Amino acid sequence: MFKRFVTAIELLAAVAIVVFVVMLFANEPSTSGVATSPGGQPFQANCASCHGAQGEGGIGPKLAGVVTHDFPNETDQIGVVTKGKGSMPAFGGNLTAAQIRQVVDYTRTGLGK
Amino acid sequence: MHGRTNRGRWGWSPVQLKTASPVTGKLLGIFVVGAAVSVALGVYADSHTPTHEKPYTLFFSGTIQLKVWLATAALALALIQLLLAARLYGKIHLPRRAPAWLGDAHRLVGITAFLLTLPVAYQCLWALGFQSGSTRVLLHGLFGCVFYGVFTMKVLGVRVEGLPGWVLPVAGGLVFAALVGLFLTSSLWFFTSSSAPRPLF
């Protein structure tokens, strides 16, 4: 009886693996959150994994609607993105200065509230 | 001496050539399939456009919390799995007489732990992709790919007959080590880092 139960769970796991693989390929990523702003793409590629696709926060703090309050001076925010701070990595080596400025502009004007 | 041991041209007896090759072939096949799974996951994670979406939270406050606790539960089950394996191999003697269902319990705990990792891996692969922003994140991605590769090897090692006795303990140990690596680079970081998001649940 117990052996049959375990076999049933193993079959369930096999089905779960199939669903897992199908979902990886069938569930296409949503592009609705990517803005047309030039900073939108680098934001999605470099920042969204921690700060959320809409800047709503996650591992990193929320940006949408609050970043201009946290960084009244845009230059300070550019400095944090470039050099990093605390657990946030520095992006000066991955992004050009122009890209960093575009990303910062995007977080200040392109993200929702 | 050659005549007494009946060794062949390269120092192998004909009997050894007949029996060793299939085992080596099976081991190589298992290794190749497991490595292919690891590489395929890494390639998918690197080439797929991350969605950065949080598809499910269940009864947790966020997807990160869900992932952290599922991974922790998987590690807890893996520890039980390790103890069950130690009893099966006679490395520990508690209980003194191993019940007949011990092997099935070992399978059940292992499969359950594996099932708990799937929602975690799906969100990692689909929403985040392969990242190398920090050493922790890079190691986490590598451990994730290795985990499913060695898990595949372990499952195949159970199914394929005629393998040496060391294969399953080694494969099981690698699966456990990869899971510990995953835990250390994700859940433990979440529990201990002041920069990790809160609440805990």
Using one digit for the tens of pLDDT, what is the confidence trace for B49-82?
887 777 788 888 888 899 999 999 999 999 999 9
Structure tokens at B79: 């520890």
- pLDDT over 90 at B145, yes or no: yes
Structure tokens at B39: 């590489």
Classify residue A111 by burial, with Cβ atoms within 10 Å: 0-12, 13-18, 19+: buried
Greater pLDDT, B16 or B150:
B150
What is the arithmetic mean of pLDDT over B13-30?
Answer: 73
pLDDT tens digit string along B100-142? Answer: 999 999 999 999 999 999 999 999 999 888 888 788 999 999 9
For residue B37, give every residue at least 6 positions away whose Cβ sits within 8 Å of its Cβ, in sequence order, or none: B148, B149, B152
Predicted local confidence at residue B188, as pLDDT? 94
Neighboring chain A residues of B131 at a CB cutoff of 8 Å? 49
Measured CA to CA, the distance from residue A112 to residue A95 in angstroms comes to: 23
Look at residue B74 and give its three-state secondary structure: helix
- Are the CB atoms for B122 and B11 separated by under 8 Å? no
Chain A closest-CA separation from residue B23 CA (Å):
26
Chain A closest-CA separation from residue B95 CA (Å):
19
For residue B42, give every residue at least 6 positions away whose Cβ sits within 8 Å of its Cβ, in sequence order, or none: B130, B141, B142, B145
Greater pLDDT, B162 or B19:
B162
pLDDT-derived band at B3 (thresholds 50, 70, 90) equals: very low
Q: Do A12 and B62 touch (CB under 8 A)?
A: no
Residues of A within an 8 Å Cβ radius of B: 2-3, 5-6, 9-10, 12-13, 16-17, 20, 23-24, 27, 29-30, 33, 44-46, 48-49, 52-53, 57-59, 86-87, 89
pLDDT-derived band at B199 (thresholds 50, 70, 90) equals: confident
Predicted local confidence at residue B2, as pLDDT? 44
Predicted local confidence at residue A14, as pLDDT? 95
Structure tokens at B61: 């406050």
Question: For residue A29, what is the DSSP state?
Answer: P
Neighboring chain A residues of B108 at a CB cutoff of 8 Å? 5-6, 9
Low-confidence residues of chain A: pLDDT under 50: 33
Chain B closest-CA separation from residue A88 CA (Å):
9
- pLDDT over 70 at B4, yes or no: no
Selecting from A2, A13, A89 the residue whose C-beta is nearest the C-beta of B104 gives: A2
Predicted local confidence at residue B57, as pLDDT? 84
Q: In percent, how much of chain B has pLDDT > 70?
A: 87
Amino acid in position A110: G
For residue A1, give every residue at least 6 positions away whose Cβ sits within 8 Å of its Cβ, in sequence order, or none: none
Measured CA to CA, the distance from residue B47 to residue A7 in angstroms comes to: 35
pLDDT-derived band at B5 (thresholds 50, 70, 90) equals: very low
Predicted local confidence at residue B116, as pLDDT? 96
Greater pLDDT, B187 or B54:
B187
Measured CA to CA, the distance from residue A30 to residue B187 in angstroms comes to: 27
Tell me the whole-structure pTM to 2 decimals.
0.76
Predicted local confidence at residue A112, as pLDDT? 66
Predicted local confidence at residue A30, as pLDDT? 53
Structure tokens at A30: 């949503």
What is the arithmetic mean of pLDDT over B171-182?
Answer: 97
Selecting from B52, B114, B196 the residue whose C-beta is nearest the C-beta of A48 gives: B52
Predicted local confidence at residue B1, as pLDDT? 42
Look at residue A85 and give its three-state secondary structure: strand
Question: For residue A31, what is the DSSP state?
Answer: -
Predicted local confidence at residue A113, as pLDDT? 57
pLDDT-derived band at B6 (thresholds 50, 70, 90) equals: very low
Predicted local confidence at residue B19, as pLDDT? 53
What is the arithmetic mean of pLDDT over B185-200?
Answer: 82
Q: What is the mean pLDDT of chain B?
A: 87
User: Residue A4 is inside which H or E element, if any?
Assistant: helix A2-26
pLDDT-derived band at B32 (thresholds 50, 70, 90) equals: very high
Neighboring chain B residues of A20 at a CB cutoff of 8 Å? 118, 121-122
Residue of A nearest to B190 (CA): A59
Look at residue B165 and give its three-state secondary structure: coil
Structure tokens at B158: 């159970």
Selecting from B51, B114, B131 the residue whose C-beta is nearest the C-beta of A29 gives: B51
Predicted local confidence at residue B122, as pLDDT? 94
